[in-house]
Each structure stands twice: as structure tokens, then as C-alpha cells.
């Protein structure tokens, strides 16, 4: 087979980014910023090229999965895990998204980080950013190309690490640049929330090994049917614990709380890791585990409900946020909810389709938001420093400080508008097609989730409308916004490419053509082309337009004035406060979990370790007993009274006996002679009388 | 002619002499007299040797007597030298004054 040669290229998707980061680590110190960024982008771009070649190889070949053995890893007892690459239509789709969107974001970051490191006064950190970014691409590639749950987990943990490193990229400050632990706390929060999910993933993997004696996809799926027939509880257990992992990585209820805080990372990171790729790993995991999920309808229902509730819940929070990136973060959680709901319902293609289009338009939105933030930073920088605004801390992310940016940043405005309309699901942009496919599937399979998602879609259009009106229309509400400047081409050109993808992404799986369905049916058994439901599409379009109109009525008709409160606050009253304060979930988690954990830790430290273990066991029991034993028993009784008595008594007795014996030694020779005589007489007497 | 003095007579005299010598050693304070008493004891032993030798008809006893006489002569030589030294230090030869080596 001619294409088999192409498949053997697959390790390059991991090792090209690794090579890029190694070169940057070793020689980056002597390279210019442009060279560092170009190299990292090239590494990612070449990985994209390899992924594309793999796609071509699959296209021309049979389309079935190809497993490329690469290295042996673990041989312990029954456990055999090799590092094999799996090239199938699903993994190649993920590779293309990761490296394609990743490359565009790398190029964008060349321009973005150039300014960011200067605004934050640490130029040396430029190189580190690209090292982490390349590491992320490599880890993500391991995740999507692994042939077993364990290799997937390696990548899963690796991207978690990169996420941690990049959220805490400016670890010594908060998002406003003040010295603080805020950013590093956000990084830790992400890491810990993900660990809880990883714990679920691990339990699922252990159970899988226990039940199937193997962790590779093919072996697990081959036996799944038999095991399910005998004991469906095992499969339910596995799938539900995998769901916990999904909830951690893909920011679903109850573990979503880390994602909004993750916006502390630089904006390209928010776009790449926390919108387009890493957070979709959970969706990929469910799609990959489709043969397991389809065996247990209860698990599917749970996944769909978690996704649906998350989609609705996060969308309501997004309505009440002021930080431009926080709105997008909650929007991401909501959209991930759409995808999770879709793959939960068994609409795997719809979920993957939305994953791809969402990667396009959400990366576009985040990067455009980054461009807006940079524009604000530039405005702040150029503002005459008359002491008035220099002293006060200025938040370039706060939408209440923006307004009217359409005039200052026209390119960014149009790009942002494309992204927002795509996200809102306006015909014929990418979001319309993918969201409608999910809604149409939900309409048939799970009406309750359908209505949740429909309301969430309405809210999505509303908060995106609110954001666009607040940021780009009206008059500048802060002198900084007046001086905001457009971004350079290195930033806007990747955005244009993403915008084109966000417009055209729908062609991947147009109703009737269903190219993505045909592509994925090689990997996921039993997928059917999604049908186009005019009721669903019509309702969602009408709702989206209504939501945009509503947002115009509230925010567009009469733009927000400087210092004015959000008009929605007047309309909704306390409900808006609930949205604005994010349902107090963070506070709830603090009081129920974190503080209890701190209490337990304090109890363990103070009472168990301090008072019991140290004060009682060590001081009293061990040291006290030892002291008592050595002082009272051994010293006073044994040593002083017994051993000393032996020694002293021996001396005393020797003295006494010698005292009486010394009298014999009187120095008179005659008495010695007499003694000798007596001795002789006694001995002779004895010998004779014997 | 064949009438010989029985061995026991010799031994009795030897014992008497030995006892006298011992008594002299224990009682007298003059070292010269003590030496003479020691000679008396040695000679009582010589008498016993000779008596046994003659009675049993072996020469060993006779020869041993010569050794004893030699040793006693040597002993007297050392003893007299000691007495001279003691006299030099103490200006007396009273044996009871020589009691500094005591416990």
C-alpha cells in the first residue's frame, strides 16, 4: 500500500513540536524574538502538514484505523502498554484542529507576546512562552494519537501541566499586573480541579484493566460487549468515572470553576488551551469511548444531562459578566456543555462537528478579545501621564471601560463580529450548522436537553450581542478607550484566516452532504447523517435574532454611559446579581469543600500531629518513658543502687579483707619463718596422715 | 662388728638438730646466730642424706650433701654481704629493726 509510508510519519506530529521547544530552550537565548516565534510556529505548522498528509493517506486508503507501533513502554505481569500511534479519522480530525488552530495562534502570539512582555516589563519571558506552547502541542498530539487509555492519559496529564504553567505564566502578579498570588492561585485551582477529574479517569482506567486485562482501545472495545452482557455495572462504573474526568478537563458541572479563573493566562493561551483544544479533550474522550457509552444508556443520559445543564447554567452566568474574557470563558463552558450533551446523546458526529467549528470561532473571539485588550493597553500607554490616571489601577479587560472601539479598531471589530455571529448561530456561519445539528439530534433523542440547549442558545446570542454593543458601539467610557489603537498585521492576519474558517466551517458537515459523518463513520460505528430539521433550525434562528434584537434594545439603542450601571440590573434585579456573582458557586465551594479541607488539614496539623503525635506520643509517651526509664529505673535503681553496689562492695570487701591480712605482713622475718614452718608442718602433716 | 647403729638413731639426731636450728632461727635476733642456726638445719638435713645413703647403699645422697654444702657456703656469702650493708645503714644488726617492709 503506497500510503503506508505516510502513516509511519505519525511520530513526527509529537516530535516536531518537541524539536521546536528543544531548539528554543538550547539556543533561544541567542535568537531574536522573531526567530523564536517563527521557529515555534514552524514546528507547529509542520505538525499540521504531517497531520494533513495522514488525512490524505486515510482518504486515499481504506479509511480504517492504522496503528503505528512506536516504542515499548510497560511490561508488568498482565499489563502490557506500548506507545503506539493510532491514526484513524477521529484522531486525524483532532490532530488537524489542534495543529491548525494551534499554528495560527502561535503566529498571533508572535505579535501578542511581543507587546505583552513589554507591558509587563519582563522581555525575557518571551521565549518561555513559546517553549510552553510547543510543549502543549506535543502533549495534545500524544493525547489524540495515543492507542490506549494510558497513552491518552499521558497526554491528558501533559496538557494539564501545560495549562497550569501557562495560566500561571505571570505568576507573580494578578491580571492587572499588581504583585499578587492571584495568577498562581488560578493556576493551582485549575490543576487541583483537574486532579479531581484525573482521579476519576484513573479509577476508570484501573477498572478497565481489571475487567479487560488491557488498556488499548481495540482490545477494550472488542471485549466490552461480552463484559456488558455479563455485568453492565462495570461498564457503567467505567463510563461514569470517565465522565468525572471529562467534567474536570472539559469544565463541566461540577468541576467547571477553574476555567473562568484560567483567563489569568495570556490571551493566546486562553484561545488555544482554554477554548479550542485542551478543554475539548473530554469531548474527544467520550467520542473515542463511544463503544463503551453506547452499551450503557444510563451513562449516556447522565452525560447528556451534565452537558445540557452546564450549557444552560454557564450561559446565564455569561450574561452577568463585565470582563471581556470572562464572558468568553463562560461561553466556552456553555459550548462545551453543548458538545458533551451531544456526545452523551450518542450524536458523536454532531459533537465533534461543533468541537471543530467552536475551535474556529472561539479561538477567533478570544484572539480578537486579545487584540482589543492590547488596543486598550496601547491606549493606556499613550495616555498623557498627568498623574490622574497613572496612579489608578486600570483594567483593560473590563467592558465598562470600553465602548466605541469600532472606530479605533475597525479590523478587530469586523473580525469580532464574525466570531460573535458564528457563536450566536446565525445562518450561514459555522456555528449555525454545528449547533443546529446538535439541537436536531437532541430534539429527537432527549427533549429535556433540547429545551435546555435551546434556551442556552438564546442566551448565547444575547450575551454576545451585549458584549458587541458594550465593547464596540456607543461612546468611549474611559479616556483609554479613546486612545485605543488597532493591532499590527501579525495579529490580524491569523484572525482573518480564523474568521474565514468560522464563516466556512459549516461546509464540513452540511446537511445532505455530511462529509464529516462519512469521514467519522470509519471510526465510530453506527453514526447516521444528521437530518435538517426546519422547525429546530427555524426556532433557533428566530431565537438568536430575537436575542440580538433584545440586546440591542437594552445595550444598543441607548449605549451605556460612563459610570452607568448595567441596565439589565434594573430589569432583572436580584436575578442579575445572581448571574453577576456566578450563583456564588465559588463561595459555596470555598465554604463547603475548601474551608472544610483547611479545617481538616488544620485539625490534622494542630490536634493529630501537634497535640497528639508530637506532644503526646513523642514527648510524653516515647521521650517521657525513655526519660523515666533511664533516669528513675536505669540510673537511680539499676546503676546507682545495683551496679554501683557491686563495684563499691567489691572495693569495700577487698579493703576489709586486705586490712585484716596486712597485719600478717608485720615485717618481722621471724614471723615469716614461723609461717613457713607452720606451712611445712601442715603440708607434711597432711601428706603423712592422708 | 656387724653391729651397726640403726638408721632411726641418725634420723632422731637429725630431727633434734633440725628442731634446734629452727628454734634458733625463730628466737634469736642476731643475724649471725640465725645464720649459724640455718647452718645447723642444713647440716641436719646433710646428716639425714648421709644416713639414708649409707643405709640404702646408694651414692646419690652422699653427692647431694656436697651440693648442699656448696649452696650453703654461697648463701652465707650473700647473707654476710647483706648483714654488712644493713649495718652500714642502721648501725645495728638487730633483725627486729629490719621491719620496714610491712603491710
Taking CA atoms, A122 is separated from A117, A129, A130, A385, in Å, by 5, 12, 15, 22
pLDDT tens profile B11-34: 999 999 999 999 998 888 888 898
pLDDT value at residue A1: 42
pTM as predicted: 0.79
In this complex, which of B26, B100, B103 lies closest to A670 when CB atoms are compared?
B26
pLDDT value at residue A556: 87
Q: List chain A residues with CB under 8 Å of B102.
A: 662, 665-667
pLDDT value at residue B103: 63
pLDDT value at residue A392: 65
Interface contact flag, B99 A668, Cβ < 8 Å: yes
Q: What is the DSSP letter of A264?
A: G
Mean of pLDDT values over A567-593: 88
Q: List chain B residues with CB under 8 Å of A677.
A: 22, 26
- Within 13 Å of residue A530, how many CA atoms lie on the same side as its CB? 36
Q: List chain A residues with CB under 8 Å of B30.
A: none
pLDDT tens profile A1-47: 444 688 889 999 999 999 999 999 999 888 899 999 999 999 999 99
Domain boundaries, chain B: 7-97
Whose CA is closest to A102, among A139, A54, A48, A51? Answer: A48
Q: List chain B residues with CB under 8 Å of A673.
A: 25-26
CA quadruple A294, A298, A299, A302: dihedral positive or negative?
positive
Using DSSP bridges, classify how beta strands A79-87 and A66-76 pair: parallel, antiparallel or unpaired. antiparallel
Mean of pLDDT values over A285-304: 93
pLDDT value at residue A2: 44
- Is the complex ipTM more than 0.85? no
Question: What residues contact residue B48 under an 8 Å CB cut-off, 6+ apart?
Answer: B10, B11, B14
- For the ranges A198-202, A266-270, A358-362, A525-529, the lowest mean pLDDT is seen at A525-529
Whole-number mean pLDDT of chain A?
90
Mean of pLDDT values over A207-224: 90
pLDDT tens profile A415-473: 999 999 999 999 889 999 999 999 999 998 899 999 999 999 999 999 999 999 999 99
State the count of interchain CB pairs (< 8 A) between A and B.
32
Do the beta carbons of residue A403 and residue A470 sit within 8 Å? Answer: yes
Position A569 confidence tier, pLDDT thresholds 50, 70, 90: confident
Which CATH code is given to the segment(s) B7-97? Answer: 1.10.287.3510
pLDDT value at residue A416: 94
Q: Is the pLDDT of residue A387 over 70?
A: no
Whose CA is closest to A58, among A1, A143, A137, A141? Answer: A1
In this complex, which of A658, A667, A670 lies closest to B100 when CB atoms are compared?
A667
Q: Is the pLDDT of residue A72 over 50?
A: yes
Interface contact flag, B99 A666, Cβ < 8 Å: yes
The residue with cell 483537574 is A194
Chain B residue with minimum CA distance to A672: B26
Whose CA is closest to A412, among A491, A483, A482? Answer: A491
Interface contact flag, A673 B99, Cβ < 8 Å: no
pLDDT tens profile A620-660: 999 999 999 998 888 888 888 899 999 999 999 999 999 98
Q: Is the pLDDT of residue A137 over 80?
A: yes
pLDDT value at residue A452: 94
Q: List chain A residues with CB under 8 Å of B96.
A: 668, 670
pLDDT tens profile A118-129: 888 888 899 999
pLDDT value at residue A385: 61
CA of B50 vs chain A CAs: smallest distance (Å): 22
pLDDT value at residue B1: 44
Do the beta carbons of residue A280 and residue A336 sit within 8 Å? Answer: yes
CA of A670 vs chain B CAs: smallest distance (Å): 5
Mean of pLDDT values over A380-404: 74
Whole-number mean pLDDT of chain B?
88
Position A661 confidence tier, pLDDT thresholds 50, 70, 90: confident
Interface contact flag, B99 A662, Cβ < 8 Å: no
Q: Is the pLDDT of residue A669 over 90?
A: no
Mean of pLDDT values over A68-85: 87
Position B100 confidence tier, pLDDT thresholds 50, 70, 90: confident
Amino acid at each position: 500500500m503506497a500510503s503506508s509510508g505516510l502513516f509511519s510519519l505519525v511520530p513526527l506530529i509529537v516530535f516536531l513540536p518537541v524539536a521546536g521547544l528543544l531548539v528554543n530552550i538550547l539556543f533561544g537565548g541567542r535568537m531574536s524574538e522573531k526567530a523564536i516565534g517563527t521557529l515555534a510556529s514552524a514546528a507547529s505548522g509542520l505538525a499540521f502538514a504531517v497531520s494533513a498528509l495522514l488525512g490524505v493517506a486515510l482518504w486515499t486508503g481504506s479509511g480504517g484505523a492504522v496503528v503505528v507501533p512506536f516504542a515499548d513502554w510497560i511490561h508488568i505481569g498482565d499489563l502490557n502498554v506500548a506507545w503506539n500511534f493510532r491514526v484513524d479519522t477521529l484522531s486525524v480530525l483532532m490532530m488537524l484542529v489542534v495543529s491548525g488552530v494551534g499554528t495560527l495562534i502561535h503566529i498571533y502570539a508572535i505579535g501578542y507576546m511581543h507587546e505583552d512582555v513589554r507591558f509587563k516589563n519582563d522581555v525575557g519571558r518571551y521565549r518561555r512562552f513559546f517553549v510552553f506552547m510547543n510543549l502543549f502541542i506535543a502533549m495534545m498530539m500524544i493525547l489524540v494519537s495515543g492507542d490506549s487509555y494510558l497513552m491518552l492519559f499521558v497526554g491528558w496529564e501533559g496538557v494539564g501541566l501545560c495549562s497550569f504553567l501557562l495560566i500561571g505564566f505571570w505568576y507573580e502578579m494578578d491580571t492587572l499586573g499588581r504583585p499578587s498570588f492571584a495568577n498562581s492561585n488560578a493556576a493551582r485551582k485549575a490543576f487541583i480541579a483537574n486532579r479531581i477529574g484525573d482521579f476519576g479517569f484513573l479509577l476508570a482506567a484501573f477498572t478497565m484493566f481489571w475487567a479487560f486485562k488491557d488498556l488499548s482501545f481495540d482490545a477494550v472495545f472488542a471485549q466490552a460487549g461480552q463484559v456488558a452482557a455479563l455485568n453492565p455495572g462495570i461498564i457503567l462504573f467505567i463510563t461514569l468515572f470517565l465522565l468525572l474526568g471529562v467534567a474536570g478537563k472539559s469544565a463541566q458541572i461540577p468541576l467547571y470553576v477553574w476555567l473562568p479563573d484560567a483567563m489569568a493566562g495570556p490571551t493566546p493561551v486562553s484561545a488555544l488551551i482554554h477554548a479550542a483544544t485542551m478543554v475539548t479533550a473530554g469531548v474527544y474522550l467520550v467520542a473515542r469511548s463511544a463503544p463503551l457509552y453506547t452499551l450503557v444508556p444510563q451513562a449516556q443520559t447522565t452525560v447528556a444531562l451534565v452537558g445540557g445543564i452546564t450549557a444552560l447554567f454557564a450561559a446565564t452566568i455569561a450574561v452577568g459578566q463585565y470582563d471581556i474574557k470572562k464572558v468568553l470563558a463562560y461561553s466556552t463552558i456553555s459550548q462545551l456543555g453543548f458538545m458533551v450533551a451531544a456526545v452523551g446523546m450518542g450524536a458523536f458526529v454532531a459533537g465533534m462537528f461543533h468541537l471543530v467549528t467552536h475551535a474556529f470561532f472561539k479561538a477567533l473571539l478570544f484572539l480578537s478579545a486579545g487584540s482589543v485588550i492590547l488596543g486598550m493597553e496601547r491606549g493606556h500607554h499613550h495616555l498623557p501621564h498627568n498623574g490622574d490616571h497613572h496612579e489608578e489601577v486600570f483594567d483593560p479587560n473590563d467592558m465598562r471601560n470600553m465602548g466605541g472601539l469600532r472606530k479605533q479598531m475597525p479590523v478587530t471589530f469586523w473580525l469580532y463580529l464574525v466570531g460573535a455571529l458564528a457563536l450566536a448561530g446565525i445562518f450561514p456561519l459555522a456555528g449555525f450548522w454545528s449547533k443546529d445539528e446538535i439541537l436536531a439530534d437532541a430534539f429527537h433523542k432527549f427533549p429535556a436537553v433540547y429545551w435546555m440547549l435551546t434556551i442556552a442558545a438564546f442566551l448565547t446570542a444575547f450575551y454576545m450581542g451585549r458584549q458587541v454593543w458594550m465593547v464596540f458601539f456607543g461612546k468611549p467610557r474611559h479616556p483609554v478607550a479613546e486612545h485605543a489603537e488597532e493591532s499590527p498585521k501579525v495579529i490580524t492576519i491569523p484572525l482573518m484566516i480564523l474568521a474565514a474558517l468560522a464563516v466556512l466551517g459549516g461546509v464540513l458537515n452540511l446537511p445532505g452532504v455530511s462529509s464529516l459523518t462519512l469521514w467519522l463513520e470509519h471510526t465510530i460505528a453506527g453514526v447516521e447523517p444528521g437530518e435538517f430539521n426546519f422547525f429546530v433550525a427555524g426556532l433557533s434562528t428566530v431565537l438568536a435574532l430575537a436575542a440580538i434584537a433584545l440586546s440591542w434594545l437594552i445595550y444598543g439603542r441607548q449605549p451605556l454611559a460612563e459610570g452607568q450601571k448595567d441596565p439589565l440590573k434594573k430589569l432583572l434585579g436580584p436575578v442579575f446579581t445572581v448571574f453577576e456573582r456566578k450563583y456564588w458557586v465559588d463561595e459555596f465551594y470555598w465554604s463547603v469543600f475548601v474551608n472544610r479541607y483547611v479545617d481538616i488539614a488544620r485539625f490534622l496539623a494542630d490536634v493529630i500531629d501537634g497535640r497528639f503525635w508530637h506532644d503526646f506520643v513523642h514527648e510524653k509517651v516515647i521521650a517521657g518513658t525513655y526519660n523515666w526509664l533511664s533516669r528513675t529505673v536505669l540510673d537511680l535503681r539499676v546503676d546507682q543502687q545495683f551496679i554501683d553496689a557491686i563495684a563499691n562492695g567489691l572495693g569495700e570487701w577487698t579493703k576489709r579483707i586486705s586490712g585484716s591480712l596486712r597485719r600478717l605482713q608485720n615485717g618481722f622475718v621471724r614471723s615469716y619463718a614461723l609461717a613457713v614452718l607452720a606451712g611445712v608442718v601442715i603440708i607434711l602433716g597432711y601428706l603423712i596422715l592422708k | 662388728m656387724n653391729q651397726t647403729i640403726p638408721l632411726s638413731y641418725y634420723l632422731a639426731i637429725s630431727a633434734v638438730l633440725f628442731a634446734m636450728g629452727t628454734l634458733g632461727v625463730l628466737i634469736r635476733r642476731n643475724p649471725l646466730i640465725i645464720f649459724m642456726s640455718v647452718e645447723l638445719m642444713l647440716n641436719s638435713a646433710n646428716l639425714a642424706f648421709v644416713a639414708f645413703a649409707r643405709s640404702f647403699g646408694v651414692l646419690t645422697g652422699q653427692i647431694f650433701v656436697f651440693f648442699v654444702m656448696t649452696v650453703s657456703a654461697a648463701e652465707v656469702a650473700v647473707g654476710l654481704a647483706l648483714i654488712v650493708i644493713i649495718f652500714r645503714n642502721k648501725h645495728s644488726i638487730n633483725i627486729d629493726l629490719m621491719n620496714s617492709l610491712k603491710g
